[in-house]
Chains A and B, each alone.
Chain A
Amino acid sequence: MDFIRETLGNTKLTRETFGNIPKPSQVLFYALAVLACSILAYGLFCRARLWWLGQPGWRWRSLGRAATGFFREVLGQRRVVRRLFAGWSHFFLFWGFAILFIGTLLLMADHWPAEIWPAWHFQYGLYYAVYKMTLDTAGIALIAGCLLLAYRRWTRPSSLGHNWRDWAILAALGTMGLSGYVVEALRLLWSRPLLPGVSYVGYALAQLIGHGHSDAALRTAHLCVWWGHALLGLTIVAVFPYARLFHAIAGMLNITGEPAQLGAMRPVSLEEVEQTGKVGVGNISDFTRGALLQLDGCMECGRCQEACPAYASGKPLTPRGVVQDVKRLLGTIGPALARQPRSADGAAAAEPSPAGPQLHEDTVTAETLWACTTCSACVEVCPVRIDPAGMIIDMRRYLVAEGQLSGPPATSLRRMENSNNPWGLPSEQRMEWADGLDVPTVKQRPDFEILYWVGCAAAYDRRVRRVARAFVRLMQAAGVRFAVLGTEERCTGDSARRMGEEFIFQSLATANVETLNRYKVRKIVTHCPHCFNALTKDFPQFGGHYEVVHHSQLLAELLRQGRLPLDGDGASRPGQPRAKRITLHDPCYLARVNEITAPPREVLSQAVSDGATLVEMARRGRTTFCCGAGGGRMWFEEAPSQRIGNLRAQEALATGADTVAVACPFCMVMMTDSVAQANSEARVLDIAELLAERLPDSPAEKQNPQT
């Protein structure tokens, strides 16, 4: 209180701006500042010109969402701090830098108008005291951040991209903080202001320097160090767009602009393809401007690479590699392209010269692009929300259009086109899975309350059929009025779309939407997260708007309502080992892409009988690790030893689990194969199968010839 009374409105508690800096020095400083800002502006202009090589269509998000992104992920550094040491080091550096930068701007805002109107000054009194204390604290944060990050670079993990400039930047920022304190200390010594303690770090430093020096010496030293500090600061401003520091601007623009929505894809217009005969990203200027901007946001932190299942299983793909390689290509061929004349819509008119390095093969190989499972781990983990998966799918679209796909995945696409399912089996067999069960179609039960979307896997894969049967018995036991489309159901086209074959996807999607709308379907349940994602994120683009739940959500709801008559324990099945230790493998398209993580666990907690435990893997929920089947990888041939699923199966088995629970047909196939590959006796079961084991009539199903 005394402090406030003493400082509030006290015009003596201030400091003279440019105190001890002679007029010529001030003029020179401003001249250099103009120069530095021009270099900054030119750099920005050059980068923006490269972004503008891309295709138009980059929309800004709503102001509210942009603000949320800005506050949570830029100011709050929410995604950055997920990695503890590096994240918090960055947090300190960021905030130290930001506050000192704003502090300098405030100084300018105080100084410039006062040149004309001396009464303008606000840099005094209580405000000044708080300002000084804040800035001194920010300096500590900046220096601490620099030291911590320097330590990390010294002992750096292999995932971290690195070159000599990184040292230079850290050194420059750290020196900026230190020299600021020295300037402050020297100023305190020669000017002897009121309450020097508000600049507490500078004050402490002043005590170290001591009072035994002459004012003249102090002033000379002050001027020298001030110039050093100023020149260094202006240098940092000037080099900003030319160094890794630029991620601060590009990253911020990306976060507040239009970051990727997991699981959603941009549709390709058929009319456009009819006109141009082109689709996808074939060269650098086919990317959107937003995608090219994203490239500059990449700091090479390597989190995407660590999260990437393709990379972990020894495939040539690393998301960071793709982003950095494309960024390098943009830097190589972009400037020349940007100088070429443009067409009316502002997009680059000419294509890159055939002589220069090409995007495909020279920069990113087809093998790299096909390795992606679109699990979206890289997108989810990226602190500045770069979307390597989206870029990869866009480049795949080009590969597919250019006939650079063959073998089993090509066969699966032809089958989706001709047979409406990737297995190539007749539609008439779509209901065989339900033999002996009472499963009404929408025609037989027009007053259904919820449509059960069975999916191709449950229709044609003998193992997955058992999942559908278990789920149906649960719905029947709970009295759910469900119906299926039966032979009228088609593949959702999820894997076609993610393999880059947009047209088969679109014909499947429009046909499915037409069928669903014809039967006035409003609510849908599916046990397949890929179907779930297609129904919720893909179909709305083609006029299909439904309330869709995953079977884990419906089962959890039925359990909460007490509608499932479960018996005491699951031991009633003869010859079937009872689950004692269960671990859950979260499907990417359920947990990460659609953020459904609690319902499967709710179901499992009820499915396990007394004495059984649910053990979690380290990578779970939204940070789950892919089984290897997403993005159309289900249809690629792969040597058993190189399967991504093997890594995940080892992770699951390391928990000591005797049962691996899954909630996705693709995961079911992959995990079953990989658990067998590991010579383990562990069972792989869908959560619905585990829950159905506790239905009173369980043994009856055991006798069914389907199993």
Chain B
Amino acid sequence: MKILVTVKRVPDPDQKIKLTADGRQLDLSGLPCVVNPFDAIAVEEALRIRERSSEAGEIVVLSIGAAECEEQLRTALAMGADRGIRVDTPAAADPWNVAAIVQAVVAREQPGLVLMGKQAVDDDSNQVGQFLAARLNWPQATFASKIEFVDGHAEVNRETDSGIERVRIALPAVITTDLRLNEPRYVSLPGIVRARKKPLEVLSLEALGVALQPRVKLLGVTIPTSSRAGTRLRDVDDLVQRLKELKVI
């Protein structure tokens, strides 16, 4: 089974985010970037699906953005994916348009499964997977913490707020990955060196026949204020007293 996995370039979540001088955008200059951690889980899952399965299947990784996104594609290729596609876009597209681009790539590649992170850790939109399934009219299973294949169907454990939900969906399908699905393998320099030999194709929006129709406009960003300082209390009685003062109990 051919699997298409999306890979988004995001700032390393450990880094401290700054704003540009005008305060309207994130200042990404000099920030180390990584594969969106949920997407890394999706790549890892694709590799494991192939390792578990008896049939050989191609794993294609897709990133949308400017040339620097190829760094993240190379990481995914070093993890073990076979081929990379970058769709060249100058600026970040909103989720609906990202879904449109992925839809065009799906039409071109005809995968049996699209695996993607449930959301990207930079904008936390959590929409592309759902939009894509709707646009393709494919079944979807979001927030996957376990994926199994039974009788040509996918059985997926979904992590919901109220517990684990197990669903069975027909293929082809869109599955978005949650944190507990797996632990992605580490990629070191030798892997990246070897991945340089793997094919990486750059497609323009025109070639895909996609015209962006922006639906969302970014008005501004603010850095959250730092959390309040903690206080050291003497003992449990003190704690109870304070909680009463705060009307928590």
Contacts and interface: CB of A to CB of B under 8 A. Distances in A.
Interface string B123-134: 000000000000
Contact of A410 (B80, B185, B191): B185
Contacts of B185: 403-406, 410
Interface in A212-232: none
B199 interface: no
B226 interface: no
A426 B15 contact: yes
B82 interface: no
A419 B191 contact: no
Interface in B173-200: 182-191, 193-194
B16 A410 contact: no
Given A401-B188, A405-B185, A419 B194 contact: no
Contacts of B188: 279, 400-401, 403, 501, 503
A428 B15 contact: no
B155 interface: no
Interface in A394-438: 400-407, 409-410, 413-415, 417-419, 424-426, 428
A415 B14 CA distance: 8
Interface in A440-480: none
Contacts, number: 67
- Counting chain A residues whose Cβ lies within 8 A of the other chain, the interface size class is 20 to 34
A638 to B, nearest CB: 15
A418 B12 contact: yes
Interface residues of B, number: 22
A345 interface: no
B113 to A, nearest CB: 21
Contacts of A401: 188-191
Contacts of A424: 14
A273 B191 CA distance: 10
Contact of A403 (B32, B34, B191): B191
B87 interface: no
A407 B183 contact: yes
A503 B193 CA distance: 12
A278 B14 contact: no
Given A274-B193, A401-B191, A402-B191, A418 B14 contact: yes
B141 interface: no
A575 interface: no
A277 interface: yes
Contacts of B100: none
B46 interface: no
Contacts of B186: 400, 403, 405-406, 409-410, 413-414, 501
Nearest to B195: A277
Contacts of B184: 406, 410
A182 B162 CA distance: 89
B78 interface: yes
A403 B78 contact: yes
Contacts of A425: 14
B190 A277 contact: yes
A406 B14 contact: no
Contacts of B16: 426, 428
B5 interface: no
B60 interface: no
Contacts of B79: 403
Contacts of A428: 16
Given A402-B191, A403-B80, A501-B188, A410 B183 contact: yes
A277 B12 contact: no
A273 B190 contact: yes
A277 B15 contact: no
Interface string A31-62: 00000000000000000000000000000000
A414 B16 CA distance: 16
Nearest to A403: B185
Contacts of A414: 12, 34, 186
Contacts of B190: 273, 277-279, 401
Contacts of B193: 273-274, 277
A402 B78 CA distance: 9
Interface string B181-221: 01111111111011000000000000000000000000000
A503 B12 contact: no
Given A418-B14, A426-B14, 6 more contacts: A403-B185, A405-B185, A410-B186, A417-B32, A418-B34, A424-B14
29 contacts: A270-B189, A273-B189, A273-B190, A273-B193, A274-B193, A277-B194, A278-B190, A279-B189, A279-B190, A400-B186, A400-B188, A401-B188, A402-B191, A403-B79, A403-B188, A405-B185, A405-B186, A406-B44, A407-B183, A410-B183, A410-B186, A414-B186, A418-B14, A419-B15, A419-B32, A426-B16, A501-B186, A501-B188, A503-B189
State the 7 A-B residue pairs at the shortest beta-carbon distance, nearest first.
A424-B14, A410-B186, A401-B190, A403-B185, A418-B32, A406-B183, A277-B194
Interface of A: 270, 273-274, 277-279, 400-407, 409-410, 413-415, 417-419, 424-426, 428, 501, 503
Interface of B: 12, 14-16, 32, 34, 44, 78-80, 182-191, 193-194
